[in-house]
Structure 1
Amino acid sequence: MTDTVTITVDGRDYQVPRGANLVDAAKLHGIKIPVFCYHPKMKPVGMCRMCLVELGTITMDRETGKPQLDDQGQPAVRWFPTLQTACTQTCADGMVIRTTTEKVVAGRNSILEFLLTSHPLDCPICDKGGECPLQNLTMGYGPGESRFVFDDKMRLEKHVPLGQLIFLDRERCIQCARCTRFCDEVAGDDVLGFHERGRRLQIVTISDPPFDTKFSGNTTDICPVGALTTADFRFGARPWELQETATICPHCPVGCNLSASTRMDRDAGGKTVIKRIMPRQNERVNEIWICDKGRFGHHFTRSENRIECPSLRKDGALVETDWTTARAEVSKQLQGAKGRVGFLAGPSLSNEDLWEMRQLAEQVGGEALLGVWPATMTGADAVAQAGVGVETRLQDMGAGDAIVVVASDFEEEAPVWWLQVKQASERGVNVIVANARPTKLDRYAHASIRYDYAGAAGWLNGLVVAVVNNKQTADDSPVAARVDGLKDLRTSLKKTQADSSDLPGALAGANNLVIFAGAEGLTLEQHGALMRAAANLLIATGHAGRPLNGLVPVWPGANIQGAFDMGFSSEATAAMLQNPPETWVIAGCDPVAEDADAAAAIAQASYVVALSPLVSDTTAAANAALPSQTFAERDGSYTNGMRRVQRFYAAQSTVGEGLPDWRIFADLTAALGGKAPRVSAAGVMRDITQSLPRYADMGFSNLAWVEDQFPDVGGDDLYYGGTSYTNRSGLGVQWLTDAEDPAARLPLQPVPEAASPAPEGLQVVPVWTLFDHGLLFNESELMHHRVPEPYAEINAEDAAALGIADGDRIRVSAGNAQVEVVARVDGRAPVGTVLLPRNLAEVPTPNYPAACTVQKVGE
């Protein structure tokens, strides 16, 4: 139970959490103390003085320990001689506050009058007009007139670029420092600072390249005035013209909640289009933050490269046709397919799309393979057994807890999780980062572990052995009594070297433990071993089956978890690449452009059906290219990396004749003699709830469940001065793991004794970069300056042996792939390893670790 204290506000007593910020505590009881610089997601600094109150404490009699009484018989209050900033006060028993006295009113009047002395009166054209805290507070608390001489106003530069994404109007800035504090405290990027002094104080970028952070857009959200605006929305619309539609980010496994601000647009022929993407508050997922990929990566939804009608290959070329003809031809080809048919699902397909794709595969019959793309990770069974507990919120973890991040460049693969783990480290959480190379998260790690890429599972197995052999298992935990297979596990790991450091004991003794597992540098088999080892460690130490404990996979996309839940697998994809089927059905991905081996396998097919919203290398190679809708044009749901099923809604007008993927699959199923299509995505989800026990509670009405969240950043009163939107459309629902079922047994499953060794010579290791030329993100031309030139990182020792210097152009060859890139000899690549980012080059690159050769171009 929360420890509470009694405070008195304007003559009334309130029970509030001990140590709570006074502004927050007042807000909980509906008492408004206005703020500018304060934000509940950052440390208070008391800069703007807008939150001035009269503050006192009840005078206690030292002899009796009881309050002294005044002449009226009331507790005597010792008042501070001057007004105090409420945001820098924490609640203690006996605190007394007055918020409406003449002294307080005069103080707030003076602060607002001072702020407006040089603030431009350009509200009619300011992007913040209509959602501006300065406007609101001036109307609510301001004097209504100014004594300042207009000619004495400061006139500073407007439309100053802080990089290519964010612009600053210096005249509007009120020096609250929210933007600089966000970059420093939350993002950990030293990219903004103050320049000059006094009334000439102004924000400047101090990084090269300018404003070099993956989270720059958040500064525009928390800016309490119109000083910071985004390049793609500036002067684009007025807030009161916009309609807000709830959606989910389609780019990574975090599943950030977004709000699509839409409006009918003249340039789009009067159709409703997305004008901007804003964060939507979900304290269980992304809190109020989103990365710049989620914010600016929506432009593919209105791209000129959208496929607007079906096409069939005729005389070697794709020819546009109608849906009736296309469905008849595709269903005919599927009906006549002999043997194996490969179904390949991309990471942006919704659960409803995946379910109907599976129904089509079952209707086709034969040996239908259900594969996911990219097929870089596996281990859905380990997640189902020991996944992170329901209602886990990383911001609830503190001193005594531990987080392990293994085989993942976290900032590039799951940026908002990176923010949350960074902040957890600063709260005292024991953060362990394990990788074959350094990553940015190492800055905040209490321990950084290095292993050979092939040895990731071996490192975790070493922890398991140490825990089991030293009897550090949580024998008194509720989980321990349900564990099976401890003896078999010991036998399977008898040759594994136990970790001799203090780490096993620290993790076993942690109050709570979360493991984030990626797949960098691992084959599919090695990654499966890593996931199993992680589940074993969590189960053996009792860190499964409860909130703030368990396994979180860093899946390579928004709905890979949903794909696994619907019956798809990476192993099926691997089987298709090794033994290509004659017929392929590919949806929501571009394997021909992304992987040389996949391109070669698909090229052997006799018939390829590609569903895509965009023209791609895969649609160009297909016999039938069918236009699908983007996430912005339809309803559906995604399941994020923490197994939270979240609903998104149709936000903008449909482009061309595109249909939801699920509807295309359902129509083909019906054409082959199957059931009639459902009328909506909600109907498809109802089928899922009736067929998959873990999804029994995932009906759309349940996914739309909401509750009040704190802090109320996006409330109607814009109280905290942020434009993150209140979540009125659904917080989502997590499905329960086996460990959370009190009746379930939890087997510790044997793991291979040793991972397969790395190849002799150089090995290419594909890695992720947040900003790339992937199918969806490449259409956001605004972000092209953030996408690096194609490069490969190579160790200085290997570079010297090959006569390669930093900046040289090199050719990396591996299997079917050959790519020319710029060499980076920067000390991050381990010896014998070439780090090659995916989706940067114009030609397919290796999608899996493999032996490679490297030579300088021109030699």
Structure 2
Amino acid sequence: RFGARPWELDAADSICSQCPVGCNITFNTRREARSDGRIVIKRVMPRQNEQVNEIWMCDKGRFAYHYVESEERLDKPLISKDGKLGKTSWKSALDLASEKLAEHKKNFVVLASGRLSNEDLFNLKSLADMAGGKAVLYSDMGGGDVTTRVGVSAGFDLGKLGAGDAVLVVASDLYEEAPIWWLRLKAASERGAVLIVANPRETKLDKHAQFVIRYAYGDEAATLEDLKGKGKIADAFAKAENAVVFFGSEGLGLDGSESLAAAAADLLKAAGHVGKANSGLIGVWPRVNDQGAWELGFEPVGDLAEELKGKAVYIAGADPAGDDPALAKALKGAKFVVVQDISLTATAGLADVVLPAQAYVEREGTYTSGERRVQRFHPAVPVTGESRPDFVVTSQVARGMGYILEGASASIAFDYLALDVKSFEGLNYAKLAEAPDQWPIVGRSDITFGGTCYDNKSGLGAQLTSAAARGETFKLPAVKKTKSLRPKEGELLAVPVTKLYDQGNTVLPAALLAQRIGEPTVTLNPATAKALDAQAGELVELSWSGSRAEVRVRTDESIATGVALVPRSFGLTVRVPVVVTLKSAGKVK
């Protein structure tokens, strides 16, 4: 606060990278003495896009950018010698990476996350395809193959939903996972849209819903199957002029979320709500560009540790070793590991070669939001050290393996992408930069009306077309039957949930959010806590599948008895529902 005068600041338009909403933002920067004369980000402001975030942004998006300025940023390539990483030249690092990956053609894995841009992911997927490798999305949430077929399409706008329309939110706490979607659905409900919230526990969206459905963890798909029948809620959804389903991963792993997505798509298709502008499926993904990764052909695997064993592995924008000791063990058993990232993560520490990537604030590119809107971001600050854009690095690795990929221009890389991927057909950087007038007028001469939002002069982006919207014939995956996860007498079932402020690599460096991030917790029904002799605020030990962790007890009366909520990205490896034991930390020997 009070770090600069507004008129001293430069502006660079970008996209928030913290969740799948894809809020339009502007970075304000300036050169300052206390940062050793570097150009640094001083504040983040919302940029108007009435079809995405209107004039709003959440506090996480406003303050959680400090990871790009971390002291852990990589500035030179590294090579491991005698088990220790040391700095080297780009030529030496690229030559070694290309040579070793080429030695393991058809036996290597490209592992990437939705933190990367479309251009980065396209080059990585192209390399995997050319060399006979496998492209894997680093995620525990499935269903993206379904959103490419019946997802929302060109012309979709949450701001147009109102009387006569219906929105179903299932297995997601939008207030914690995508706050701007929470805000926009609240507004849709106020305009008369029928809002249906289905979740095993209470969320902040419940009080704005016309209908609230409670189900047991594991009954997600069965709950949506029931909505294909008769009844007040089923009729409200089926008879709506437009209908949208937001599906998440509350209490779910990969298999459960895949089944939920298939059930949601089946419900939409049965009610005739596919292939229409303001109807379709939206995934509440954990990362900004997970939807883009699915569009380009990346998919997660059920047993990632097994997939990595004995392979040459090329990892970009992911930290599996930092998330799960089992994955760290698998990487130690890999033939050769190349890591491409912005910081020295736990995974980078296990690599044979580390390639420094530029942060998204240092380069240009595109992200695809959960609403399947492709949007451009622009460089705001100078490059860190010798780091390079991910798509450039991948093209250089590919060249050493004998393959040609675009590595000079992000816009040209996007052109190749648009020629190759049908849903991107007809798009280019010029199309994404179109910025027609919007209402209300903000950020211009009448600043008292515009408030603290920037006018959008860099483009509103463009939405992809779904297979249904293109009139293509397609098949939906069968809905897998899942077992109800009602815990047995005396059992404690831990389920993973998402918190807005977590201890992930992109949030933890933000000192301003430290008090909101807090510590690892386990949330129980008060009756469950009493039965386990655990008090709210007490430190307890959870143990499961060979793992253990100390966590603080919280209570919530809306949670079913015998269930424990465990937050993701807090160092706990509960990635799927699992039975755990709980002991008071004072009683643990």
TM-score (norm 1): 0.66
Cα distance in 1 for partners of 2:422, 2:548 equals 45
Q: Output the CA distance in 2 between the equivalents of 1:587 and 1:535.
A: 31
Is 1:407–2:171 an aligned residue pair? Answer: yes
2:18, 2:209 → 1: CA distance? 26
Asked if 2 retains the 8 angstrom alpha-carbon contact of 1:714 and 1:726, the reply is yes
Q: Does 1:507 align with 2:240?
A: no
Equivalent residue for 1:342, pick from 92, 105, 109: 109
Distance in 2 of aligned mates of 1:711 and 1:659 = 39
Note the C-alpha offset of 1:338.
6.4
The answer (yes or no) to whether the contact 2:492–2:580 under 8 Å persists in 1 is yes
* C-alpha displacement of 1:581: 3.1
Q: In the alignment, is the contact (CA less than 8 A) between 1:595 and 1:847 conserved in 2?
A: no
Structure 1 stretches lacking a partner, 5+ long? 1-230, 467-499
Tell me the residue number matched to 2:480: 752
Alignment of 1:372 onto 2:137: yes
Distance 2:316 2:307 in 1: 20
Matched residue, 1:733 = 462
Partner amino acid for 1:462?
A: D
- After superposition, residues 120-139 of structure 1 pair within 5 angstroms as none
Structure 1 residue 460: Cα displacement: 0.3
The answer as to whether partners of 1:793 and 1:823 remain within 8 angstroms in 2 is yes
TM-aligned CA deviation for residue 358 of structure 1: 1.5
Q: What is the Cα deviation at residue 721 of structure 1?
A: 3.8
Tell me, in whole angstroms, the C-alpha distance in 2 between the residues paired with 1:777 and 1:319: 27
Q: Is the 8 A contact 2:444 2:450 kept in 1?
A: no
Structure 2 residue matching 1:738: 3-state secondary structure: coil
Question: SS at the partner of 1:853?
Answer: strand
Query: Within 1, Cα distance between the matches of 2:447 and 2:416?
Result: 40
User: Quick one: distance in 1 between partners of 2:405 and 2:260?
Assistant: 42
**1:677: how far off?**
4.2
Find the residue that maps to 1:385 and give its secondary structure: helix
1:576 aligns to what?
304
Cross-structure match for 1:398? 162
* 1:849 paired residue number: 577
Contact 2:309 2:334 in 1 (8 A): yes
1:330 aligns with 2:97: yes
Shift of the alpha carbon at 1:305? Answer: 1.6
Q: Distance in 1 between matches of 2:290 and 2:487?
A: 29
User: Aligned-pair distance for 1:576?
Assistant: 2.9
Q: Which residue of structure 2 lines up, in the alignment, with residue 818 of structure 1?
A: 548
Contact 1:369 1:576 in 2 (8 A): no
Aligned to 2:441: 712
Could you tell me whether the CA contact under 8 Å between 1:434 and 1:451 is conserved in 2? Answer: yes
Cα separation, 1, equivalents of 2:347 and 2:404 = 29
Shift of 1:797: 3.2
After superposition, where does 1:666-745 map in structure 2 within 5 Å? 666-675=395-404, 677-718=406-447, 720-741=449-470, 743-745=471-473
Q: Is the 1:759–1:850 contact (alpha carbons within 8 Å) kept by the matching residues of 2? A: no
Question: Residue deviations 1:627-657, cap 9 Å, x none?
Answer: 1111100010000001000010111101111
Shift of 1:757: 4.9
The equivalent position to 1:442 in structure 2, one of 206, 209, 212, is 206
Indicate conservation of the 8 Å contact 2:541/2:549, yes or no. Answer: yes
Instruction: Name the structure 2 match of 1:122.
Output: none
- Change in Cα spacing, 1:306 to 1:733, as seen in structure 2 (3 Å) is same
Separation in structure 2 between the aligned mates of residue 586 and residue 754 of structure 1, nearest angstrom: 32
Tell me the equivalent position of 1:319.
Answer: 86
Aligned counterparts of 2:71 and 2:350: Cα–Cα separation in 1: 20
Deviations 1:304-354 (A, max 9, x none): 121111111111211111111111111122122266322211221000111
Aligned residue for 1:798, secondary structure, equals helix
Q: State the 1:798 CA deviation.
A: 2.8
When structure 1 is superposed on structure 2, of 819-828 and 452-461 the one drifting more is 819-828
Matched, 1:661 2:390: yes
Partner of 2:24: 257
Residues 1:762 and 2:492 aligned together: yes
Where in structure 2 are there 5+ consecutive unaligned residues? none
Instruction: State whether residues 670 and 677 of structure 1, in contact with CA within 8 Å, keep that contact through their aligned partners in structure 2.
Output: no
Q: Which amino acid in structure 1 is aligned with residue 304 of structure 2?
A: M
Residue 795 of structure 1 deviates from its aligned partner by 2.5
Query: Of residues 498, 517, 520 in structure 2, which corresponds to 1:787?
Result: 517
Q: Distance in 2 between matches of 1:387 and 1:283?
A: 20
Q: Any idea what the Cα deviations from partners look like across 1:456-495, whole Å, max 9, x if unmatched?
A: 011001112x1xxxxxxxxxxxxxxxxxxxxxxxxxxxxx
Match of 1:831 in 2: 561
C-alpha separation in 2, matches of 1:721 and 1:707: 17
Contact kept in structure 1, 2:541 and 2:584, CA below 8 Å = yes
Q: How many angstroms apart in 1 are the aligned matches of 2:226 and 2:86?
A: 58
Residue in 2 that maps onto 1:306: 73
User: Cα–Cα, structure 1 residues 789 and 600, in superposed 2: closer, same or farther, change >3 Å?
Assistant: same
Deviation at 1:359, TM superposition (A): 2.5
Q: Distance in 2 between matches of 1:812 and 1:599?
A: 21
In structure 2, the residue matched to 1:598 is 327
Q: After alignment, is 519-528 or 334-343 more displaced?
A: 334-343
Aligned with 1:267: secondary structure? helix
Question: Which structure has the higher relative contact order (CA within 8 Å, separation 6+)?
Answer: 2
1:360-385: CA deviation from partner (whole Å, max 9, x where unpaired):
223443xx221122x22222232122
SS, match of residue 440 in structure 1: coil
Secondary structure in structure 2 of the residue aligned to 1:611: strand
Q: Distance in 1 between matches of 2:232 and 2:482?
A: 23
Aligned ranges 1:189-200 → 2 under 5 Å: none
Contact kept in structure 1, 2:256 and 2:482, CA below 8 Å: no
Quick one: distance in 1 between partners of 2:129 and 2:456? 38
Structure 1 SS opposite 2:152 = coil
- Range that drifts further, 640-649 or 778-787: 778-787
2: CA distance between counterparts of 1:313 and 1:829? 48
- CA distance in structure 2 between the partners assigned to 1:844 and 1:310 by the alignment: 31
1:494 maps to which residue? Answer: none
- 1:424 maps to 188
**Contact kept? 2:153, 2:464, Cα under 8 Å:** no
Mapped partners of 1:314, 1:758: distance in 2: 51
Does the 8 A contact of 2:146 with 2:261 survive in 1?
Answer: yes
Q: CA RMSD in A?
A: 1.9
1:447 offset after TM fit, Å? 1.5
Q: Does 1:292 align with 2:59?
A: yes
**Contact 2:120–2:390 (8 Å) recurs in 1:** yes
**SS state of the match for residue 683, structure 1?**
helix
Deviations, residues 723-749 of structure 1 (Å, cap 9, x unaligned): 2111111111111112223x4346565
Alignment length (residue pairs): 584
The correspondence for 1:649, drawn from 370, 375, 378, is 378
Q: Aligned pair in 2 of structure 1 residues 669, 709: CA closer, same or farther (>3 Å)? A: same
Shift in alpha-carbon separation, 1:759–1:588, aligned structure 2, 3 A: farther
Partners of 1:756 and 1:435 lie apart in 2 by: 14
Q: 2:349 is matched with which residue: 620, 636, 639?
A: 620
Deviation at 1:802?
A: 2.2
CA contact (8 A) 2:396 2:407 kept: no
Is 1:588 paired with 2:588?
Answer: no
- How many angstroms apart in 1 are the aligned matches of 2:269 and 2:515? 45
What's the TM-score, normalizing by structure 2?
0.95
CA 596–408 in structure 1, closer or farther in 2 if over 3 Å, else same: farther
Q: Rate the CA distance shift 1:772–1:757 in 2: closer, same or farther, 3 A.
A: closer
